[in-house]
Amino acid sequence: MHYGKAEITMKCIGVGGVVNAFITMATNGDEIDWEMVGKDVSHGQTNFFWNNDMLYGVNSRTHSVPGGSINTTYHTYGIDWTPDSLTWSIDGAPVRTLYRKDTLEDGIYKYPSHPSYIQFGVWDGSGSPSLASWTNGPIDWNEQPSVLTNVISKIKITCDSTYNKVVS
């Protein structure tokens, strides 16, 4: 997808050490994220990276999930990406907007702008002490079932036909 809107309706895993991810990823390292992390079942996190410049914690924000938690209630997480702005939403309500004009640094716009894959995943964030701290891990496999499930009920992707070759 090169600009457009992507939404996923899901019920996430609320276990320390687990990351529920809905992201876009370009081959050059541009990335746009929704991540629901570990035992923090009342929040989701948004983030973006530009050109493989992995500034962890710099461009991230934490958002309250309205009307319930990530693991007991289905919520729709959205990414609305245009050449000039990027808006993240929960259940159709915008929670954050990034404007391209605000990413100008040393004459360069550090704004995700390359065609990207859309990815959904669940991963173990227990691998290193810093990741485990971020994800409220490590996963305690003595307390958890051997299989952890993230339930997706709907995915909707609308590509901007100006920038995408849409094939049906």
Q: Just list the catalytic residues.
A: 31, 35
Structure tokens at 60: 């991230």
Hey, what long-range contacts does 138-147 have (CB within 8 A, 24 or more apart)?
A: 138/16, 138/17, 139/15, 139/16, 139/17, 139/18, 140/16, 140/17, 144/15
> Angle 38-26-100 (CA atoms, 0-180°, nearest 5)?
90
Task: Report the Cα 54 to chain-centroid distance in Å.
Answer: 15
CB 40 within 8 A of CB 136: yes
Alpha helices in the chain (DSSP H): 129-134
